[in-house]
Amino acid sequence: MQSISILGSTGSIGVSTLDVIARHPDRYRVYALSAHSRVAELAAQCERFRPQVAVVGSAEAAGELSALLRAKGLSTEVAYGPEALCDIASAQGCDMVMAAIVGAAGLASTLAAARAGKKILLANKEALVISGQLLMDAVAAHGACLLPIDSEHNAIFQCLPPGYTRSMQAHGVEKILLTASGGPFLTRAVATLNDVTVEEAVAHPKWVMGRKISVDSATMMNKGLEVIEAHWLFGAPADKIEVVIHPQSVIHSMVSYSDGSVLAQLGNPDMRTPIASALAYPDRISSGVTPLDLAQIAQLSFSQPDFDRFPCLKLAYDALHAGGTLAAVLNAANEVAVQAFLDRKIGFRMIDQLIQRVMSAIPNRQAADVGTLLEQDTAARAHAEALISQ
Ligand SMILES: NC(=O)C1=CN([C@@H]2O[C@H](COP(=O)(O)OP(=O)(O)OC[C@H]3O[C@@H](n4cnc5c(N)ncnc54)[C@H](OP(=O)(O)O)[C@@H]3O)[C@@H](O)[C@H]2O)C=CC1
Ligand SMILES: CC(=O)[C@@H](O)[C@H](O)COP(=O)(O)O
Ligand SMILES: [Mn+2]
């Protein structure tokens, strides 16, 4: 029996994780759950999964949650705030941590899980984008195990040999082929992109996901973040990570080897597959996902991404090439810009323009420690906010 803390249990990944766990009560027990503000949803999850601890974002939310749990006769301990998230990520009572908080808000708890030597199921790609070297170092230094949940990286992980040492050369790996759906605006006239609505931008053609990552898919910043994520997870230089547009989202990514072999992982687009594969690794367990019917899908297509249509993808490659704290700056500017778009304060094309301006304005630094990264994150957010309110 393994116990798990699910950080961000009320989100899209959190709910899919609980769905898989509920299918295997003989293997998994929930130690802790967390939400930010969706208290009623968290209370319902507590009633069903009976965690020892539940964490929310504020004292007010904690009061509400405590009242709801008392009314249900539950003894779940309630805590709140970033420190409480770090506590449930590093607690002795948990073996595994699902890091599924969205954005930089998930950084500290992911690092805490690494420093406590946990098995980390990493959905929160932003943590790796911000603190790549430091997080990988913490994982190695504390004997943690980092398993990718992001569908592409989970696919790549499945296509790499067991015991892969983050050296492409040592394992005969030529290239990583990162597939991208192209999002909802793959074929929309570029001149009309600034007019897209929030509703159009969050309507991903293949995946049901949270609002932030859905907008990231629409700008292709999601793929940019994933290029950086692949760099850190697999020790791949930027020029060995190729993005391939594949609108069907059936092949979740591929690994190209020096002998000409290309290995791919396929499946219906449902996050319960990568979640189940990481939860049970190296075993395989049922996930509830419908098996793939290739004859019904009939055709798979591929093309190159267009940087003029998707400037965010180019900005992410630029940040990876530059190194230092630029990826943290890119991420922070993107988080502010996406939220402003979701709040209908800026148009869709302002997202890439804003990120580009913030990246040019904040001097790059060495990513020496978490403090430096957080300073850069704060400076980038302040600059982006100032540009928005101009
Ligand atoms: N959804 C998907 O299919 C995929 C997601 N990912 C990555 O997984 C992560 C989660 O994505 P997704 O599930 O879609 O996101 P959602 O927006 O659906 O869920 C986010 C979760 O994080 C919590 N949360 C939000 N803000 C904070 C905060 N400031 N502090 C603590 N907790 C917070 C939310 O709580 P509350 O509900 O109370 O707001 C919720 O539980 C992201 O990094 C995303 O890029 C990667 C691949 C696929
Ligand atoms: C499910 C998942 O992993 C998402 O990151 C998904 O890949 C988004 O699709 P695109 O970014 O390729 O549109
Ligand atoms: Mn992905």
The DSSP-derived string for 304-357 is: ---TTT-HHHHHHHHHHHH-TTHHHHHHHHHHHHHHHHHTTSS-THHHHHHHHH
Helix spans in the chain (H): 12-22, 39-49, 59-71, 82-90, 107-115, 125-141, 151-159, 198-202, 211-219, 221-234, 272-280, 294-297, 311-322, 326-342, 349-361, 370-389
Q: How confident is the model at residue 61 (pLDDT cuts 50, 70, 90)?
A: very high
**Whether residue 281 has its Cβ less than 6 Å from ligand 2:** no
Tokens matching residue 240: 């060995």
* Same-domain status, 116 and 258: no
Q: Cα of 216 to ligand 2 centre, how many Å? A: 9
In a domain, 318, yes or no: no
Per-residue model confidence (pLDDT) at position 141: 98
| Closest CA relative to residue 179, chosen from 153, 201, 218 | 153
Q: Residue 186: phi, psi to the nearest 5?
A: -60, -35
Q: In this predicted model, what pLDDT tens digit does every residue of 257-309 receive, in sequence order?
A: 999 999 999 999 999 999 999 999 999 999 999 999 999 999 999 999 999 99
In a domain, 280, yes or no: no
Torsion sign, CA atoms 128, 134, 136, 138: negative
CATH code of residue 328: 1.10.1740.10
Widest CA span in the chain: 63
* Same-domain status, 117 and 218: no
Distance, CA of 381 to CA of 26 (rounded, Å): 45
Residue nearest atom 12 of ligand 2, based on CA coordinates: 180
DSSP 37: S
Distance, CA of 145 to CA of 94 (rounded, Å): 14
* Same-domain status, 250 and 102: no
**Whether residue 223 has its Cβ less than 6 Å from ligand 2:** yes
Residues with CB under 6 A from ligand 1: 8-14, 35-38, 57, 100-102, 105, 123-126, 150, 207, 209-210, 212-213, 271
In a domain, 274, yes or no: no
Per-residue model confidence (pLDDT) at position 146: 98
Binding residue per annotation — 11?
Answer: yes
Q: Are 204 and 151 spatial neighbours (Cβ–Cβ below 8 Å)?
A: no
Q: In this predicted model, what pLDDT tens digit does every residue of 137-163 receive, in sequence order?
A: 999 999 999 999 999 999 999 999 999
* Same-domain status, 105 and 116: yes
Per-residue model confidence (pLDDT) at position 347: 97
* Same-domain status, 133 and 229: no
* Same-domain status, 69 and 215: no
Domain count, the chain: 3
Q: One-letter amino acid identity for 246? A: H
Q: Are 48 and 66 spatial neighbours (Cβ–Cβ below 8 Å)?
A: no
Residue nearest atom 8 of ligand 2, based on CA coordinates: 217
Beta bridge partners of 96: 4, 119
Spell out the residues 6+ positions from residue 3 whose beta carbon is closer than 8 angstroms to its own: 28, 29, 30, 31, 93, 94, 95, 96
C-alpha separations of 22 from 19, 26, 78, 114, 290 in Å: 5, 9, 22, 26, 17
In a domain, 282, yes or no: no
* Same-domain status, 136 and 24: yes
Per-residue model confidence (pLDDT) at position 15: 98
* Same-domain status, 14 and 136: yes
**Whether residue 150 has its Cβ less than 6 Å from ligand 2:** yes
In a domain, 102, yes or no: yes
In a domain, 86, yes or no: yes
| Closest CA relative to residue 368, chosen from 133, 143, 105 | 133
Give the mutation target among 38, 97, 102, 211 for probing the ligand 1 site: most ligand atoms within 8 A of CB. 102
CATH code of residue 108: 3.40.50.720
Q: In this predicted model, what pLDDT tens digit does every residue of 310-327 receive, in sequence order?
A: 999 999 999 999 999 999
Q: How large is the ipTM?
A: 0.99
Share of the chain above pLDDT 70, in %: 100
In a domain, 283, yes or no: no
Burial category of 343 from C-beta neighbours within 10 Å (exposed 0-12, middle 13-18, buried 19 and up): exposed
Spell out the residues 6+ positions from residue 141 whose beta carbon is closer than 8 angstroms to its own: none
* Same-domain status, 164 and 115: no
Structural domain harbouring 299: 151-189+197-269+292-307
* Same-domain status, 137 and 25: yes
Per-residue model confidence (pLDDT) at position 264: 98
**Location of structure tokens 């957010």:** 381
Q: How confident is the model at residue 223 (pLDDT cuts 50, 70, 90)?
A: very high
DSSP 167: -
In a domain, 285, yes or no: no
Q: One-letter amino acid identity for 216? A: D
Beta bridge partners of 80: 56
Mean residue pLDDT across the chain: 98
Q: Cα of 70 to ligand 3 centre, how many Å? A: 38
* Same-domain status, 106 and 159: no
Q: Are 212 and 219 spatial neighbours (Cβ–Cβ below 8 Å)?
A: no
Q: Count of residues for the chain?
A: 390
* Same-domain status, 133 and 206: no
Q: Cα of 241 to ligand 3 centre, how many Å? A: 14
Q: Cα Rg for the chain, rounded, in angstroms?
A: 20
Tokens matching residue 338: 């996406």
